[in-house]
Chains A and B, each alone.
Chain A
Amino acid sequence: DMKVTQMPRYLIKRMGENVLLECGQDMSHETMYWYRQDPGLGLQLIYISYDVDSNSEGDIPKGYRVSRKKREHFSLILDSAKTNQTSVYFCASAPGQNYAEQFFGPGTRLTVL
């Protein structure tokens, strides 16, 4: 079953707390992504990972970092979360060079108070 999973689905944190969002995929895809989605802004790319320990900044990496120690798992970390990081975060994966044929997870709704 081809699937991208995200945990948790909902999260409430206070400003200054650390946040860990986790993403898994069972398709052995090399490439994985983290996006955030805000009303009226569409999807914004935070980070892209081409494989284990091969990560690149996307369009809005400030305030975020990522970790990919296994091909099937990609984490997004917010050190000292800020209120403007309240958003819906999506993880996606793509096979090989087909960067635009992405499989998306269900999203994590993060609220930073």
Chain B
Amino acid sequence: AQSVTQPDARVTVSEGASLQLRCKYSYSGTPYLFWYVQYPRQGLQLLLKYYSGDPVVQGVNGFEAEFSKSNSSFHLRKASVHWSDSAVYFCVLSAPNTNKVVFGTGTRLQVLP
């Protein structure tokens, strides 16, 4: 069965610091992977996606993520966070050629000014 684990429920960083949000998945093959962001009182928005190829994918607002098959991970990174990045971030797995989509439980990011 597929699963997604975001081990950190909350992360707090200072503005200007670098960021890594962790995501581990369980899937027998190579999944499709996504990161979504949810700002307060809003729906989720797609941040970036990985289907195949270059394991480092770029997203909006300076975010990037790196796929590692050996580590079953898809960590989200940003070189320098801004207070407006404060939000909840969801890692999502999709099993290719199926309609199965699995959401992680989310990581709440707080950026201190």
A interface residues (Cβ-Cβ under 8 A, vs B): 4, 31, 40-43, 45, 48, 50, 90, 92, 99-107
Q: Is the CB of B94 within 8 A of A104?
A: no
Which of A31, A42, A48, A105 makes the CB contact (< 8 A) with B43? A105
Q: Is the CB of B43 within 8 A of A100?
A: no
Q: Is the CB of A41 within 8 A of B46?
A: no
List of A residues within 8 angstroms of B9 by Cβ: 40
Q: Is the CB of B45 within 8 A of A101?
A: no
B42: nearest chain-A partner, CB-CB: A106
Among A40, A42, A103, find the residue whose CB has the most chain B CB atoms closer than 10 A: A42
Q: Is the interface of A mostly helix, strand, loop or mixed?
A: strand
Q: Is the CB of B44 within 8 A of A100?
A: no
List of A residues within 8 angstroms of B106 by Cβ: 42
Q: Is the interface of B mostly helix, strand, loop or mixed?
A: strand
Interface: B92 (CB within 8 A): yes
List of B residues within 8 angstroms of A43 by Cβ: 44, 90, 103
Mask, B64-94, CB within 8 Å of A = 1, is 0000000000000000000000000010111
List CB contacts (< 8 Å) of B31-61 with chain A.
32, 34, 41-46, 49
Q: Is the CB of A4 within 8 A of B43?
A: yes
A33: nearest chain-B partner, CB-CB: B101
Q: Is the CB of A99 within 8 A of B43?
A: no
List of B residues within 8 angstroms of A42 by Cβ: 90, 103-106
